[in-house]
Amino acid sequence: MDLHKITLVADWLQASESTVILTGAGMSTESGIPDFRSREGWWKKINPMTVSTVDALENEYELFHGFYSLRLTDLKTYHPHKGHHFLAEWENQGFVKGIVTQNVDGFHQEAGNKSVHELHGSLRSIFCSDCGQASDEGAFLNQDTCSECGGHHLRPDIILFGEILPQEVWGKAIRLIEESDLLIVIGSSLQVSPANELPFLTNGKKVIINNEATLLSEQFDLQLEGKAGDILEAIDEKRKGGEIHDDIENTKRRT
């Protein structure tokens, strides 16, 4: 872990008036939830066009339902990890203005963040795709029909490929980022637009924390490669003025 970069980010966070965090699926892999484009990612096993489109919802409902009910059931087993809790603590202490997330797992709210903008919706809210009537997880998992219209297509309120993005959420996210003086991207390949354009709306400093370099990483002021949880922990320890517990650091202290 690059201690100099950790110290820089901790200083920028401490000095910032308005830090905004933009997260992707890499923020939840340490909770046990696969991301999409890494070696173990969902899209390495399943062609997204067969499950994550309106066509799949309407014409391949069994496939659609199987994919999303598996992901929804996972949320009963997996929960936010230490990285989510640091972000909640930073918002609580006034260091972070808000979270803009591409994730649909609700982990930021579960960890305690209040200002969360879900660009791609949420697995946790269910509605009838035939009449729009709100429904619930149990009815979706049981493949019940809609209580209002008897329709057979209950679905999670997430944005499928090709669907319109939730304009109100996007408007708020854009304003938040435009007003930020520090934007930290965590765990995203930045391959999906328009989310991958958001980091460049800030007039402030841009940091990316990711397991691997992305095609856009060079455009950031700072790139930290590694696991989100460990890096956020190290930034938090530095921010609090503590020593960073890192192998290199401990070796130095022992000699």
Q: Site residues (CB under 6 A) for ligand APR?
A: 24-26, 29-30, 35-38, 41, 48, 102, 120, 187-189, 191-192, 210-212, 214, 227-228
Distance CA 238, CA 15 (A): 13
Q: What is the residue type of 122?
A: S
Q: Which is nearer to ligand APR, 174 or 192 (CB)?
A: 192
147 lines the binding site for Zn ion (CB under 5 A): no
Q: Which strands form 134-135's sheet, in the order they lie side by side?
A: 134-135, 121-128, 154-158
Minimal CA–CA distance to 150: which of 128, 171, 118? 128
Q: Phi first, then psi: what are they for 228, rounded to 5°?
A: -55, -50
Number of residues lying near Zn ion (CB under 5 A):
8
Nearest residue to ligand APR, using CB? 26
Which of 85/120 has CB closer to ligand APR? 120
Of the two residues 86 and 146, which places its CB atom closer to ligand APR in the complex? 86
Helix 228-239 vs helix 3-15: angle between axes, to the nearest 10 degrees? 60
Q: Nearest approach, Cβ of 209 to ligand APR (angstroms)?
A: 6
Q: Does 126 bind Zn ion (CB under 5 A)?
A: no
* Shortest distance (Å) from residue 57 CB to ligand APR: 15
Tokens encoding 234: 């190290």
* Contact of residue 134 among ligand APR, Zn ion, none (CB under 5-8 Å per partner type): none
Q: Which of ligand APR, Zn ion, none does 151 bind, CB closer than 5 to 8 A by kind?
A: Zn ion
What's the min distance (Å) between Cβ of 67 and ligand APR?
Answer: 12
Q: Which stretch binds Zn ion (CB under 5 A): 101-109, 121-129, 168-176, 215-223?
A: 121-129
Which one of the listed residues 120, 152, 153, 245 is annotated catalytic? 120
Strands 205-210 and 222-225: parallel
Among 149, 165, 213, 248, binds Zn ion (CB under 5 A): 149
Q: Rounded to an integer, what distance in angstroms lies between the CA atom of residue 246 and that of residue 2?
A: 10
- 157 is a site residue for Zn ion (CB under 5 A): no
Least distance between Zn ion and beta carbon 146 (Å): 3
Active site residue 120: yes
- d(Cα 9, Cα 177) in Å, to the nearest integer? 17
Beta strand pairing status for 222-225 and 121-128?
unpaired
Distance in Å, CB of 65 to Zn ion, minimum? 15
Give the span between the Cα atoms of 210 and 1, in whole angstroms. Answer: 12
Residue ranges in the chain assigned as alpha helix (H): 3-15, 42-45, 48-51, 54-59, 61-77, 82-92, 107-111, 137-141, 167-178, 228-239, 247-254
Active site positions, annotated: 120
Residues that bind Zn ion (CB under 5 A): 128, 130-131, 133, 146, 148-149, 151
